[in-house]
């Protein structure tokens, strides 16, 4: 949230900023996924893509949701066939990553 404090509210943060700890379920942390700004997609450790949208529509799509978050998601078929799936998404069908506007 430092971006929100500094950019939107013009408040200089006087609080320490901590990184998120590792996931409790043992899955890959979001830092293991590589973001490619050219394609606007993340690549998982298994080589699959996570995108905010998988279909193009003529009128375009907003860059961020109303809550200023962009959600990236893998395809069901790609995630199911990926060898490191048990380590990537142990309790879900597909992997999702959220990116705040301020990150």
Q: Is 26 helix (H, G, I), strand (E, B) or coil?
A: coil
Predicted local distance difference test score (pLDDT) of residue 15: 59
Query: At 6, phi and psi to the nearest 5?
Result: -75, -50
The reply to whether 100 falls in a domain is yes
Q: Is 42 helix (H, G, I), strand (E, B) or coil?
A: strand
Mean pLDDT, 10 residues at a time, over the chain (103 residues)? 73 61 73 88 89 82 82 87 83 84 75
The reply to whether 8 falls in a domain is no
pTM assigned to the model: 0.69
The reply to whether 89 falls in a domain is yes
The reply to whether 5 falls in a domain is no
Asked if 102 and 2 touch (Cβ cutoff 8 Å), the reply is yes
What domain range includes position 92?
Answer: 25-53+62-103
Starting at the earlier edge strand, list the strands of the sheet with 34-36: 34-36, 41-43, 49-51, 69-74, 96-100
Predicted local distance difference test score (pLDDT) of residue 89: 83
Predicted local distance difference test score (pLDDT) of residue 64: 80
The reply to whether 15 falls in a domain is no
Predicted local distance difference test score (pLDDT) of residue 86: 83
Largest CA distance in the chain: 46
The reply to whether 13 falls in a domain is no
């Amino acid at each position: 949230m430092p971006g929100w404090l500094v950019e939107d509210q013009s408040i200089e943060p006087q609080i320490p900023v901590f990184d998120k700890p590792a996931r409790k379920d043992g899955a890959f942390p979001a830092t293991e996924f590589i973001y490619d700004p050219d394609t606007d997609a993340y690549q998982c450790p298994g080589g699959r893509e996570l995108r905010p949208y998988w279909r193009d529509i003529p009128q375009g799509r907003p860059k961020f949701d109303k809550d200023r978050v962009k959600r990236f998601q893998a395809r069901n078929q790609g995630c199911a066939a990926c060898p490191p799936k048990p380590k990537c998404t142990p309790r879900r069908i597909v992997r999702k990553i959220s990116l705040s506007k301020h990150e």
